[in-house]
Amino acid sequence: MNRLMQFIAMLALVIGAAAPAHAETLIAAMSSHQIQITSNYTGSQLTVFGVVERDGRTVARGDPYDIVVTVRGPKRMLLVREKERLGPIWINRTQRRFPDSSLFLTVASNRPLSDILSADSARRERIGLENAQQRKDAALDLDVTTARFQDGLIRILSDKGLYSSEERGVTFLSNTMFSAPIDVPATAPTGSYEIDIVLYAGGVPLARQSTNFEVVKSGMEQRLASGAHDLPLLYGLVTVILALLLGWLASVVFRRD
């Protein structure tokens, strides 16, 4: 029995020594966790900054570090329609629904994603504009039609400034310190935004860190939005009265004698 216990103890020590140690730890923070929308809001910018902490007992890696920052905004059901020409008019024919899709999506890295990891790894780890919306349990390959609609969705939201990819959006301030500015346009919806930061070396993910921020209304805009949500009947009645009053004032001002 004693020999058996000694053998189990030695086996545990061998397994523990062979288990891979986390040589790197990723620590990240943000310049602010809230963006307030006021009447003169024209957009804002946040900065993600962090540091890579290495275990002092491990040897330095031969490959340099890479950072990929993915920002996902509030999720909604998005519907993409394809127009087709029927005689002299255009009509909506084919459509695709994309449930739980982010209204805002930004991917920033210190160099092109194709130089950081392979296309298969990017799909598997949901890195990049084309892959960030995929569910973890979904198939990696999309059918041709769905892929075409997804490209259209990315193109439409990119034109609105809600989707973007910055190949030089992450700057290394030293070998282990980095920063990444995040531009939030005026058209960005209110809600919670998730930030996923992944550390790579030689195409292998080493560490991951997540944080978040919120875009909220403040001042008169927030009071009006709260009133419309909490007291819809009163809000609608006041709106109608104001519209009638403004219409009457306009008729008085521009009345011809």
**Digit-coded pLDDT (tens) for 92-134:** 778 888 888 999 999 999 999 999 999 999 989 999 998 988 7
Instruction: Indicate if 231 and 115 belong to the same structural domain.
Output: no
Instruction: Indicate if 100 and 73 belong to the same structural domain.
Output: yes
The model's pLDDT over 173-206, given as tens digits with 9 standing for 90+, comes to: 998 899 999 999 999 999 999 999 999 999 999 9
Q: Give the whole-angstrom CA distance, residue 160 versus residue 106.
A: 13
Q: Give the whole-angstrom CA distance, residue 179 versus residue 190.
A: 24
9 vs 230, residue with greater confidence: 230
Structural domain contains residue 113: yes
Q: Residue 64's domain is classified under what CATH number?
A: 2.60.40.1930
Tell me the average pLDDT across 142-149. Answer: 78
Instruction: Indicate if 141 and 237 belong to the same structural domain.
Output: no
Q: Element (H or E) spanning 229, and its range? A: helix 220-230
Check whether 87 has a pLDDT greater than 70.
yes
Nearest Cα residue to 143 out of 76, 96, 78:
96
The residue assigned the tokens 């306009």 is 250
Domain with 134 in it: 24-217
What per-residue confidence (pLDDT) applies to 136? 61
138 vs 26, residue with greater confidence: 26
Band of pLDDT at residue 3, cut at 50, 70 and 90? low
Band of pLDDT at residue 225, cut at 50, 70 and 90? low
Instruction: Indicate if 196 and 232 belong to the same structural domain.
Output: no
Please tell me which of 126-130, 225-229, 252-256 the model is most confident about, judged by mean pLDDT.
126-130
Structural domain contains residue 243: yes
User: Which one-letter DSSP state was computed for residue 246?
Assistant: H
What per-residue confidence (pLDDT) applies to 116? 94
- Domain count across the chain: 2
Check whether 44 has a pLDDT greater than 80.
yes
Check whether 170 has a pLDDT greater than 90.
yes
Check whether 248 has a pLDDT greater than 60.
yes
Band of pLDDT at residue 18, cut at 50, 70 and 90? very low
Number of residues written out for the chain: 257
What per-residue confidence (pLDDT) applies to 228? 67
Whether pTM exceeds 0.85: no
The token duo for 22 is 């986390």
To the nearest 10°, the Cα dihedral for 182, 184, 190, 194? -20
Structural domain contains residue 137: yes
Structural domain contains residue 4: no
Instruction: Indicate if 58 and 163 belong to the same structural domain.
Output: yes
Q: Give the whole-angstrom CA distance, residue 179 versus residue 30.
A: 9
Instruction: Indicate if 177 and 231 belong to the same structural domain.
Output: no
Check whether 231 has a pLDDT greater than 90.
no
Tell me the average pLDDT across 79-93. Answer: 79
